[in-house]
Structure 1
């Protein structure tokens, strides 16, 4: 991360409208900042040299070269030797398995297929931010640490991510409530805001903490057990 913990992002897409939509989404997220938008491979490489972003949102269909060429340039041996490796999240409509294999082999952190709702991109960016925070806090990694990082960056299929008894609609509602609060909330406060039982709200909050999207904070009063408070991590 750069600039006091802010993740700097370069948006690359040949479609100006799509690039603008992605730019507005990223800029709306706490902890992220767009340094530039590019619409060709040449513009993308020039922007990386100029701004040195932490993360590139890279379309593979560009008018002057394949996005895979850009990916190789950013993740190849020369970039590594110069200490300039950039993380790349591929965003594309190209569904050919060879493109997927090449992108992942070249070091893309994720391969996101168009079309998708912007909430999916938001979630993936939040996962990326959570993984970066975990790595910053680590000393020597354990296997559990590595598995957790991979789970954040490349989550399981969306048809089976939630524990039994939880629904994606309520999970999204709890996430949005935390995100919009801008401060920490208790399970009771989340319960009152969205109209579910406190114990139900707490289950969803604990799930988001386990996924790295939320953080548990303990508030200690003058007496009694500490209060569990939850804050949106991204």
Structure 2
């Protein structure tokens, strides 16, 4: 396989669709099929192992949703494969959540081989242009400063992100904070409490304000103040949990783009 070949993983719970789309990919110039998966967990695991440039992802999977797959893949940072959604799901919630995960396209089922080839052809051209622009684009002073920065929230007296959680512990950044710069918390926020909050927030398992409050032994109002601060800093992402009735519950996760460097190497 040459360096120019784009390696593709097909993810679909329907064996027939999985086989058909795999044949479509195998026949597309410049693309190589490296595997197929029938579940979201299998797709995430294959993506984590590397060797995949593009995933054709169905949104309706038997274990976890396509949206959840997208979020977990984003935790890989720069190693995350591109994703082209191939799905019969056309509801606004699913489509908007997929688009928010920065997918490269959304192709509605059923589609023909020529339709997929057209999308892949466009993706290949855009990928080449993106790589060329990234390689040739000069860095600004702010970008250079950020590369030199640790890029992590620092809690004075408590270490980064309130201390390690064991192997694979992650650190969350605060916007604009450089090396050795102390965290400047808004009035009413405590460094000690912030450290406890940061220990609870995870990049994969989302928590609600109520769950965070219980785990940190603080009130819900206090939990929301810290969560609002971290959202404003860009350190955490918002998600939603839809129940049978009522408004969706807001959930919080550590932003994948702000994981510690060790997770992206």
Distance in 2, Cα, partners of 1:50 & 1:137 = 26
Contact 1:35 1:51 in 2 (8 A): no
Distance 1:56 1:133 in 2: 17
Instruction: Tell me the equivalent position of 2:88.
Output: 93
The CA distance in 2 between the partners of 1:3 and 1:43, in whole Å, is 26
Runs of 4+ aligned structure 1 residues displaced above 4 Å come to none
The whole-number CA distance in structure 2 between the counterparts of 1:110 and 1:4 is 23
CA distance in 2, matches of 1:23, 1:64: 21
Once the 2 structures are TM-superposed, how far is the Cα of residue 129 of structure 1 from its aligned partner? 0.5
Task: Report the Cα distance in structure 1 between the residues aligned to 2:17 and 2:115, rounded to whole angstroms.
Answer: 15
- Identify which of 110, 115, 127 aligns with 2:110: 115
Structure 1 match to 2:76: 79
TM-score (norm 2): 0.49
**Residue pairs, 1:194-213, within 5 angstroms:** none
- Is 1:92–1:113's contact at 8 Å kept on the other side of the alignment? yes
- Give the aligned partner of residue 121 of structure 2: 126
Alignment gaps of 5+ in structure 2: 139-265
- 1:29 is matched with 28
Instruction: Give the superposition deviation at 1:69.
Output: 0.5
Q: Is the 8 A contact 1:92 1:114 kept in 2?
A: yes
**Hey, what's the Cα distance between the residues in 2 that align with 1:136 and 1:102?**
26
Moved more, 47-56 or 122-131: 47-56
2:6 and 2:53 in contact (8 A); partners too: yes
Q: Report what 2:137 is aligned to.
A: 140
Structure with the greater alpha carbon radius of gyration: 2
Q: Any unmatched runs of 5+ in structure 1?
A: 142-234
Residue 40 of structure 2 is aligned to residue 45 of structure 1: no
C-alpha distance in structure 2 between counterparts of 1:135 and 1:64, whole Å: 33
How far the C-alpha of 1:43 sits from its partner, in A, is 1.3
Worse-matched range after superposition: 114-123 or 99-108: 114-123
SS at match of 1:19: helix
The alpha-carbon deviation at position 134 of structure 1 amounts to: 1.7
- Give CA deviations for 1:59-109 in whole Å, capped at 9, x if unaligned: 00001111110011112xx321xx322110011111111111100001111
Q: CA RMSD in A?
A: 1.7
**Aligned partners of 1:57 and 1:91 also within 8 Å:** yes
Match of 2:160 in 1: none
Number of matched pairs: 136
SS in 2 for 1:9: strand
Q: Could you say what secondary structure the match of 1:35 adopts?
A: strand
